[in-house]
Chain A
């Protein structure tokens, strides 16, 4: 596909379970971002991958959150021991290069923690 894809589109889990969210960026895009958006709120930056550099993890809310990007392409955001406050839409975006290029967003994964 031509755009950023994310899977699953919806995820319902029980409190305390681990979840993995996947992002497939646009081919050739070297920068990848994860955000989350709680209901009615703006986007909250989580983590940023830039090529082979160490990721910027400054937005991760706790050590239960982690992300990796394998081979400079697909990224996985993992949330361990999920809590109800983790319920949100998790958005992934990619850009051709870091810096001043527009970001292309995926449709998001809606996570619901019961």
Chain B
């Protein structure tokens, strides 16, 4: 499995877009990019995943660069309830969660 690099923490104002970057320069051709988040004291929650194309669902958008070496998770209108640790994972078979990005949404 490829390794990922994420900033330790980020701040975002409530109502603004939160853009969370992830580097995965060693990703292989068949590895998907997954994003999960973990709200304090809860189990991780799936957000979105993609392979090559950009993806959007009711929670977020995922932008993957053309060379697939990095991606950005976009929360279009962050709310206080989006405060959580966000994990970017690339996998072929198993999940290896790093330390993630602690997103602090501030009023």
Interface residues of A (CB under 8 A from B): 4, 33, 35, 41-45, 48, 56, 59, 91, 93, 98-100, 102-108
Q: Is the CB of B43 within 8 A of A91?
A: yes
**Known contacts A42-B87, A42-B100, A102 near B46 by CB under 8 Å:** yes
Please list the 10 inter-chain residue pairs (A to B) with the smallest Cβ-Cβ separation, ordered nearest first.
A105-B43, A43-B97, A102-B46, A42-B99, A42-B97, A105-B44, A42-B98, A100-B32, A91-B43, A108-B43
The A interface, classified by DSSP as helix, strand, loop or mixed, is loop
Question: What residue in chain B is nearest A91 (Cβ atoms)?
Answer: B43
Q: How far is the CA of A106 from the CA of B34 in the complex (A)?
A: 18
Besides A102-B46, A103-B46, 13 new A-B residue pairs in contact (Cβ under 8 A), listed by A number:
A43-B44, A44-B97, A45-B94, A45-B96, A45-B97, A56-B94, A59-B94, A93-B44, A99-B93, A103-B36, A104-B46, A105-B44, A107-B42
Interface set, chain B 28-57, CB cutoff 8 A to A: 32, 34, 36, 42-46, 49
Q: Is the CB of A41 within 8 A of B44?
A: no
Question: What residue in chain A is nearest B87 (Cβ atoms)?
Answer: A42
Interface residues of B (CB under 8 A from A): 32, 34, 36, 42-46, 49, 85, 87, 93-100
Q: Is the CB of B42 within 8 A of A33?
A: no
The B interface, classified by DSSP as helix, strand, loop or mixed, is loop
Residues of B within 8 A of A43 (CB): 44, 87, 95, 97
- Closest Cβ–Cβ distance, residue A82 to chain B (whole Å): 22
Q: How far is the CA of A41 from the CA of B102 in the complex (A)?
A: 11
Question: What residue in chain B is nearest A100 (Cβ atoms)?
Answer: B32
Q: Is the CB of A48 within 8 A of B45?
A: no
Residues of A within 8 A of B36 (CB): 103
